[in-house]
Amino acid sequence: MGPFVSAFFGRVFLIIWLWGESEYREDYVWMKIGL
């Protein structure tokens, strides 16, 4: 992945983490495992 994509996913993860929605966090983890 390019630096832009990595930065994008990093930002999305940060937003979700700060949001504190556990179900979204789990979806992200499963997505990372799927990738």
pLDDT at residue 14, rounded to an integer = 81
pLDDT at residue 3, rounded to an integer = 83
Q: How do residues 3-35 score in pLDDT, each as one tens digit?
A: 888 888 888 888 777 776 656 667 777 777 775
pLDDT at residue 24, rounded to an integer = 62
pLDDT at residue 5, rounded to an integer = 84
**Taking the CB of residue 28, how many other CB atoms lie within 10 A of it?**
15
- Is the CB of residue 24 less than 8 Å from the CB of residue 16? yes
Angstrom distance (rounded) from CA 10 to CA 18? 12
Amino acid at 5: V
Residue 24 burial (CB < 10 Å; 0-12/13-18/19+)?
middle
pLDDT at residue 22, rounded to an integer = 59
Q: Which of 13, 9, 8, 35 is nearest to 26 (CA)?
A: 13
pLDDT at residue 1, rounded to an integer = 62
